Structures are given as C-alpha cells and as structure tokens.
Chains A and B, each alone.
Chain A
C-alpha cells in the first residue's frame, strides 16, 4: 500500500491479468455467471451454487469522511468497519457510513445520484465503487466470467443518458477480470419475477434514484424507460419539511412504516410523499404509453410487478392499486403485485441473464 497519497498509474496497454480464486475449503462451489445490481442506495451481487442456492451480498452505496489517526484505524478494523484512505482522508464505506451519519447527524456521500454515477463525487466515487464491487463479486471463478450489471434506462422526465455510467461500471468489472454486460434494470425484474408468464409483462424496479420500467414480450424488452424520482426523492422532501437530515429520514423509512396506518408526523410525511411518488410514476408511465407508437399490444392481460428497495414499505401495493384505479391505463392488466423478495429482484434477474448467456463458458 502507498503512504496514503493516491497515485495514478499511467495506464497499461491492456486490462490487467485476470484474477482467479482457488476454491476455498468449506465454502459452497459456485457456478459461473454473476449478477450485479448497481443501485443508488445499495449494491448487490448474486451468484448461485451447484445446489441451486442463490447467495446475495449487499453493500450500502455510501461513504463518509472521518478524522484520520492510528487509533481510529485500529478501532474501525476491530469493529468490522470498512474504511479507505483516499486523497488524505479517511473514508468509511458501506453500511457503517450510514450508521455513522445518523449518529453524527450528518449526510452520507453517495457515489451515485439519481440512478447514475454522481458528477459531484467524481474524484472519490470511482475508486470507492471499485472497492465495493470487488468485495461483492470477489475474484472471477473462471477467466472472463460473465457478469451482468444493471443500468438505468434513459429517463423520460430529464435530460440524461447512461452512456458514461455504463462505461464506468463496464470498466470497473473489466478491471476486476470479468466479462461485463449491461442489462436494463427493469428487464432484470422481468427475468426474476415473470417467468410464470413467459417473461411477458411489465417489470418496475423502484430504486433510490429512479424508477425503471420495462415492458417485455416473451423475454424481449419491447419498451423501457425511467423516471427520475425514487426513494431519495422521498427522503429529501421528508427531510426538508421536517427539518432533519435525509439519512435520518431514510432510517425512519427503513425501520418499518405502513402507508395504510402512519402513526407519527414523520410517518405521515413519508406517506404523503410516497403517494405523490406513486401517482407521479403511474401518470408518467401512462403518458409515455399514450405518446409512443412502439407500445406492444398484448393478446392477453399482463401483470405489473414492482420490485426494489423503495417498494418494500408496508402498504405499497395497496397505494399503487388505489392510484391505478384513478387512471385509464392503455394496457389491459391482470394483476398488480410486488415481488416476494423485492430487495434482491434486480440482482437475481441479472444472475439469470448471466447464467443463461451463451458466452458463459461450460466448466
């Protein structure tokens, strides 16, 4: 390791030699092919073993600077808290960063914002993302192991695209020895939740930065787009009206709120903004469908499945159904439901895509 001052290598003529991990004794034998959910709030990886079990690893996609000294270094390691020394700063990363932010009443810093790599954190974001992803994926099982990572679709309510974002994460995965492939986040939900409907229907990933929508017909994504309001939008607005930090609003939200029965002022504020978010999303989807000529005409009614951390709040589907009843949706819908394991849907969907990829070599 260096003396703490980052150095920039002049770059090589090619990617570094691929890393391969020996099979650790006692650990399950893993199949080739990994899924990576690159989310604004959380990073998740998914891999399956030969027993058919799926193992998910989770890291909160956040960091926070703290005072640097030897005592702190030792204490953090003993407490199982991850840190890095970056640009002469000690930076705590992952879940502990979130906990520390709440303790010190500060905001966490986020490598991603509104669904994509953050322009504000460009100096620190990429090295930290690489570290986090490295911990999640681990070394590749085989040379150029296929890794599908989720990317957002282009939003319909903002001037943005995912080209830069895709390039950054593709580069990180390549650096780590993988064969990276991008997959639209909404499409991951289709793979994870609509197998019983022949992968036909609408998958919606409710993330921290964005909601990603994918209309799929028999595994093929026919239409996909995103809206730029997500869980972070709720946290920001709740924080603003209540005069608290956004991290605090996130903690309240994640502790357990039921939109059908808010008990405190904080929960009521969360309920108000959740309803507005759902109303906004459904209207944007309806307008997009109404204005597009490429909306598929399904022969039978289809399901809408919601997934993602932002959809996990109590009463979410009830509110969606309430708001859905108020609009005239252009596609016939059979059922509106939430994924059983909404938090890991995108990662599992990416895993399915990776495992089924023809480039995934046989062992």
Chain B
C-alpha cells in the first residue's frame, strides 16, 4: 500500500482540507446562495466508515494485499458515489428552496396587483355614479323646460287664434264695404286689365331699350367707317397732289379723266357706306353723318378745283353719283404694283384631299337643283 494513501486514509480531516477551498458568506450571498448546507467532518468520517463497512461485508475474511487494495479502491469509489449522491440531494434541496422563494415573491406581486386593480375599480365606479347623477339632473331640467315651452305654446296658440279671428272679422267688414263700391267680378276684371297693361308697357320699354342699343351700335359703326374712309381720302388726295405736281409740265387729258373716274368711284362708295349705316340710326347718327357729308363734299370740291387749275378750262365740274363700284376692288387696286419676284419659277405645295362629290350632290338636291 502506498504510504501517502495510507496516511490520507488515516487523516480524513487533512484530506478534506486539502481538497476544499474557503469561501466567505458574503461571496456566497453575491452568487445568490442565501442558505447553504453544512457538512461536518464527523459526518464525512461516518460516511467513509459506512462505505468501508459496506465493502468489507461483501468480502470474505483473510484479505490479501491485492484484495486489500481492491477493497480500498472500492471503498473510495463507494465514498465518492455517496458523496456525489449527497451533493445531488443538497442541490435539489437548494433548487427547491430557491423556487419556493421565487413563488413567494410572485405571490406577493400578484397580491399587490390585485390590490391596485381593486382600487382602480372603486375609482371607476365612483366616476360612473357621478356621471349617472349628472345625467339624471340634466333630464330633470330638460323635462322642466319642455313643460315650460308647452305652456308658452298653448298661450301663443290661443293668442294667434284670437288674432286670426279678429283679422277675419276685419276682412269680412272690408268686403262688406267693398261690395257696396265695386262688385267682385268687376274688381277681378279691372285687376286683370291693369296687369296686362303693365306687362305690355314693360315689353315696350324693353323693346325701346333694345332699339336704342342697336341705334347706338349702328352709330358707332358708321363713325368708324367714316373715319377709315376719310383717312383713305386724305391719302388719295396726297397722291393726287403729287401726281398733279409731276404732270404739270405735260397735261394728259386721259390721265385726268382716269383720276376723275377714280375719285367718282370713291365718292360713290363712301356715300353708299354712309347711307347704309345711317338708315336705322335716325336723328343721332344722321347728325354726325350729315356733318361728315358736308366736309366730304368740301374735300371733293377742293379736289375738283385743283384738277381744273392744272388742266385748264374745259373740265366740267361735279361728280356723277350714278355709277357704283366695289370699294374693295378700288382699294385692292394698290395690289397692282410692279414688283420683282421669282414666285412663278417656284413650285407650290400640292396635296390631294377627300372628294366633295357626295356633299355637292346632296347640297344641290336640298336646294332643289339637279346634279351637274
């Protein structure tokens, strides 16, 4: 047998001391151990003794060296097994106590929560009771007001009924009086006639207003036309003067005749335009048109005098207002200018389009003519 082992077996306390460590109670608490199981040295000795006895009891008497060693080993194993068993039991116990502590704490929390809920419930109940009381009071006040209004309504109805009765009496009295003056049928007829007259007068007033507006529009139109024509006359006058100046050295009766004809045509067109615009506008427009006529005749006379001056005697004055001409054609005569252009050398964009035969045919049929 090993001397150390032998020595260890004999001194259990030292063995325990060597194989354990000291831990302070504070450290244990920090680790969460509030309670620990304490195993005394005597208990350990007892355990070892039990273990050895258990093993020896199994063995027959007269052990040899090898057998003794075996016994020792088995004792040791048995000791360790029992120690382990003890530790496990201790751990189980500690766990159970920890769980118990936890359960106690939870129970305390639940109890606290229940107390809180009860307090809140009491508060809510108190609030509901207060609201209910308020509603009951409001209803009471509403009922009271309703009764008051009904009383007032009854009073007003009574008064209204009295007033209606009084008004009816008055109407009957008035009717009696009127019956003495004008019969009802005659009254109705007079009323209808009066209404028709008023309506007719209103229509006449509206018609007169429309006519006045039309007359005003026509007068403005006539003024505008006259202004345009006067401007054109001024231009032609200037041109004529220039032409007269140039042709002074060589008077051509043919030229003069052309100028006169142009002037004649222009005057006719102006007079026609003035007459056309003056017709519906009566006095107001005619006044303005009359002034314009006078000034235009003065201009015309001036032009004639100029022609006479440069052409000498033989020219008869006056314009023939009998001929008519198209103002546009006259004025577009200025388009007959001599200008350089390449336009005839350049093509024009052409495209085809949808035919119009059907439309033409329909139009002719609707107008009563046959197809061409």
Contact = CB atoms under 8 A, between A and B. Distances in A.
Contacts of A76: 342
B177 interface: no
Interface stretch (A227-235, A314-322, A323-331, A347-355): A347-355
Contact of B338 (A7, A56, A135): A7
A135 B345 CA distance: 11
A80 B352 CA distance: 21
Given A80-B347, A136-B348, A358-B369, A171 B330 contact: yes
Given A83-B341, A174-B329, A352 B359 contact: yes
Nearest to A195: B359
Interface in A83-100: 83-86, 93, 95
Contact of B352 (A54, A161, A347): A54
A326 B349 CA distance: 41
A223 B67 CA distance: 141
Interface string B241-269: 00100000000000100110110000000
B340 A1 contact: yes
A59 to B, nearest CB: 7
A10 interface: yes
Contacts of A86: 337, 339
Nearest to B342: A77
Interface string A342-362: 001001100110011010001
B349 A167 contact: no
Among B258, B259, B363: residue with most chain A CB under 10 A: B363
A60 B366 CA distance: 35
A362 to B, nearest CB: 7
Contact of B340 (A85, A163, A199, A218): A85
Contacts of A358: 369
Nearest to B243: A10
Given A77-B346, A169-B328, A4 B336 contact: no
A299 interface: no
A167 B243 contact: no
Interface in B68-95: none
B225 interface: yes
Given A341-B353, A348-B353, A126 B359 contact: no
B256 to A, nearest CB: 10
B367 interface: yes
Contacts of B342: 73, 76-77, 82-83
A118 B346 CA distance: 26
B327 interface: yes
Contact of B366 (A13, A55, A198, A355): A198
Q: Closest 4 A-B residue pairs measured CB to CB?
A: A171-B332, A167-B328, A171-B328, A85-B340
Interface stretch (A18-26, A45-53, A245-253, A260-268): A45-53
A174 B243 contact: no
Contact of A48 (B225, B327, B355): B355
A353 B357 CA distance: 12
A243 interface: no
Among B330, B340, B350, B353: residue with most chain A CB under 10 A: B353
Given A8-B239, A356-B364, A168 B331 contact: yes
Contact of B336 (A52, A175, A192, A218): A175
Contacts of B334: 8, 126-127
24 contacts: A4-B340, A9-B336, A10-B243, A10-B259, A16-B336, A52-B357, A57-B349, A57-B350, A77-B342, A77-B345, A81-B346, A85-B339, A85-B341, A126-B334, A134-B343, A167-B327, A167-B328, A169-B328, A170-B326, A175-B333, A199-B366, A348-B356, A352-B359, A352-B363
B353 A171 contact: no
Contacts of A84: 339-341, 343
B247 to A, nearest CB: 10
A113 B360 CA distance: 32
Given A171-B328, A171-B331, A48 B356 contact: yes
B237 interface: no
A6 B335 CA distance: 11
Interface in A1-39: 1-2, 4, 6-13, 15-16
B293 interface: no
Interface in B294-345: 326-345
A340 interface: yes
Contacts of A167: 326-329, 331-332
Contacts of A73: 342
A219 interface: yes
A127 B339 contact: yes
Interface in B251-293: 255, 258-259, 261-262
Nearest to A58: B349
A151 to B, nearest CB: 11
Interface string A122-142: 000011011100111000000
B362 interface: yes
Contacts of B353: 46, 54-56, 341, 344, 347-348
Interface in A104-132: 126-127, 129-131
A4 B239 CA distance: 20
Contact of B225 (A131, A163, A362): A163
A166 interface: yes
Given A219-B367, A356-B360, A15 B329 contact: yes
Contact of B349 (A15, A59, A192, A199): A59
Given A167-B327, A171-B328, A191 B349 contact: no
A221 to B, nearest CB: 13
B354 A191 contact: no
A192 B359 contact: yes
A355 B349 CA distance: 23
B309 to A, nearest CB: 18
B162 to A, nearest CB: 51
A336 interface: no
Nearest to B364: A356
